Amino acid sequence: MSIFIQSLDYNLWDLIVDGPNLPTTTNESGKIISKPRIKYNDEDRKKVQMNAKEKYIIICAINSNDFNRVSSCVSAKGMWDRLEVTYEGTNQVKEAKISMLFHHYEMFTMHANDDKKTMFSRFTNITNALQALDKVYTNSEMVRKIVTPRARCNDLNFQLMYIALILNKIYILIEIIVQLSK
């Protein structure tokens, strides 16, 4: 949803993330409260209009279940925070998800019934989920992970190619040793 909002107006996205910018005033006891509409000036009306626009964009992008979760929120920031906790969880939940996905990434192997396309699809799902939780791997790390024999251990052709590669390296090393020993 962030990309949707950013594509419409990046300034709106900044306002959602940075928090409510609604007009406030201080009452007699020194407490900050919402400013009464009758006391709005032009700048206050612009702020309220921007918040309404932000809320409208969020509401247009969500389903009825999510609408029920956020409809009572006063600000777009409140709506966004509630949706974020609903879908990403608290920091503890996020860390637990990262830990679980990291484990899946580290233990990733090709299943016996996987073809290369299915294996890559499963791998992409893991890395995309990690990226959504701010754990990003470089392309070279992901390529290294896919081509290691551990990741492809159930692919007999790959195992044979890997063994041939190792044997070829051993053969080259033996030739070098023989040449150096002369």
pLDDT digits (tens, 9 = 90+) for 122-169: 888 999 988 887 888 888 788 777 777 555 555 666 666 667 777 777
Please give the structure tokens belonging to residue 23.
């007009």
**pLDDT-wise least confident of 25-29, 162-166, 174-178:** 162-166
DSSP per residue over the chain, as a string?
-HHHHHHH-HHHHHHHHH-----EEE-TTS-EEEPPGGG--HHHHHHHHHHHHHHHHHHHHS-HHHHHHHTT-SSHHHHHHHHHHHHH--HHHHHHHHHHHHHHHHT----TT--HHHHHHHHHHHHHHHHHTT----HHHHHHHHHSTTTTTT-HHHHHHHHHHHHHHHHHHHHHHHHHH-
Structure-token pair, residue 118 = 């299915």
User: Does 84 share its domain with 96?
Assistant: no
Q: What average pLDDT score do residues 40-69 get?
A: 91
Q: What's the one-letter identity of residue 174?
A: I
Same domain (yes/no): 74, 135: no
Q: What is the pLDDT of residue 58?
A: 92
One domain for residues 84 and 109: no
Q: Tell me the one-letter amino acid at 42.
A: D
Query: Quick one: 75 and 108 in the same domain?
Result: no
Residues 6+ apart with CB under 8 A from 175: none
> Which residue pairs, CB below 8 angstroms and at least 24 apart, start in 85-88?
88/133
131 and 166 share a domain? yes
What confidence score (pLDDT) does residue 108 get? 86
Q: Which domain holds residue 100?
A: 91-181
pLDDT of residue 143: 79
User: Do 140 and 156 share a domain, yes or no?
Assistant: yes
> Where a domain ends, among 88, 105, 139?
88
Lookup result for tokens 């993330």: 17
Model confidence at 56: pLDDT above 90: yes
Average pLDDT, the chain: 84
Quick one: 84 and 99 in the same domain? no
Regarding whether 114 and 64 lie in a shared domain, the answer is no
What's the confidence (pLDDT) of residue 136? 86
- Let me know whether 65 and 114 are in one domain: no
Q: Of 56, 88, 120, which residue sits at a domain end? A: 88
